[in-house]
């Protein structure tokens, strides 16, 4: 990676270009995940749709050792493999893509971890009736809204053995208190891993919002403020402003 110029005096020289300290920290944090991070490297990708994360997934499969799939994306993968997902959010037109991702991961030696059980609800409401069910046996009329207890034990084991961690996206509908436990648990696991010496990067709107809501911003190594620009970097794109400085 190009050496980042951070000395304040450097700014005094006319015609010279440099990164501001915040941008430099953003670039360095992403670089630790994508290039120089200590292995094993883990990416935790949550959120509602495979379609919004596909470019990131395809780009990071060459970089990571483990990939946790959580949130609404789960059900597209589960249904693609023949599971019953009830009324859970699911992109039927992306099921072939999900199977291809699983195939690519297997070929690259990346271990993918998908929920094995979920907290299902009979309505998209904090006051809905709930039950814990196997992720591939969700009854009709019910929808998965949070990670289940066995899933969280599996996630904990993976998170605590990794040395570099990227977290992008919640693993449940954290905005509703009754379905926030999975996301809080993942935050706690990452906190513990960070205390044990792992580097942890949180980026992306929903995951950053969750980290701030539950007080994890000072318990991870870095919380990105880059938003969409950070996600584009994870997709493998070089942002024009960064390119201009690096090439100067």
User: What are 100's two structure tokens?
Assistant: 């291809």
Question: What percent of the chain has pLDDT above 90?
Answer: 65
What's the whole-number average pLDDT of the chain? 85
Residue 89 near residue 72 (C-beta atoms within 8 A) = yes
* Predicted confidence (pLDDT) per residue in 62-114, tens digit: 999 999 999 999 999 999 999 999 999 999 999 999 999 999 999 999 999 99
Using the predicted structure, report yes or no on whether residue 240 has a pLDDT greater than 50: no
- The domain locations on the chain are 38-246
Using the predicted structure, report yes or no on whether residue 2 has a pLDDT greater than 90: no
* Predicted confidence (pLDDT) per residue in 193-221, tens digit: 999 999 999 987 688 889 999 999 999 99
Taking residues 5-30, report their average pLDDT: 54
Sign (positive or negative) of CA dihedral 76, 112, 26, 214: positive
Taking residues 109-121, report their average pLDDT: 98
User: What are 136's two structure tokens?
Assistant: 């591939």
- The CATH code for residues 38-246 is 3.40.50.1260
The pLDDT value recorded for residue 206 is 83
User: DSSP secondary-structure letter at 140?
Assistant: T
Reported pTM: 0.84
The pLDDT value recorded for residue 14 is 46
Please tell me the distance from the alpha carbon of residue 117 to that of residue 134, in angstroms, as a whole number: 4
Q: What are phi and psi of 79, to 5 degrees?
A: -65, -35
């Amino acid at each position: 990676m190009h050496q980042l110029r951070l000395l304040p005096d450097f700014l005094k020289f006319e015609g010279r270009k440099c990164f501001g300290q915040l941008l430099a920290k953003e670039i360095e944090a992403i670089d630790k995940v994508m290039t120089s991070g200590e292995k094993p490297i883990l990416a935790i990708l949550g959120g509602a749709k495979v379609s919004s994360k596909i470019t990131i997934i395809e780009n990071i499969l060459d970089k990571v050792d483990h990939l946790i799939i959580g949130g609404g994306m789960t059900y597209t993968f589960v249904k693609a493999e023949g599971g019953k997902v009830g009324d859970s959010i699911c992109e039927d037109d992306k099921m072939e893509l999900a199977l291809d991702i699983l195939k690519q991961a297997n070929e690259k030696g990346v271990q993918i971890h998908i929920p094995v059980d979920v907290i299902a609800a009979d309505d998209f409401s904090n006051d809905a009736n709930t039950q814990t069910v196997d992720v591939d046996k969700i009854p009709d009329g019910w929808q998965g809204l949070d990670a289940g207890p066995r899933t969280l034990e599996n996630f904990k084991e993976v998170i605590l053995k990794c040395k570099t961690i990227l977290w992008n996206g919640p693993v449940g509908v954290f905005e509703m208190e009754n379905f926030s436990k999975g996301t809080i648990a993942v935050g706690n696991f990452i906190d513990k891993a960070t205390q044990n010496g792992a580097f942890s990067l949180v980026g992306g709107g929903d995951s950053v919002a969750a980290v701030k809501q539950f007080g994890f911003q000072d318990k991870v190594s870095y919380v990105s403020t880059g938003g969409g620009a950070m996600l584009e970097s994870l997709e493998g794109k070089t942002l024009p402003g960064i390119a201009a400085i690096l090439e100067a």
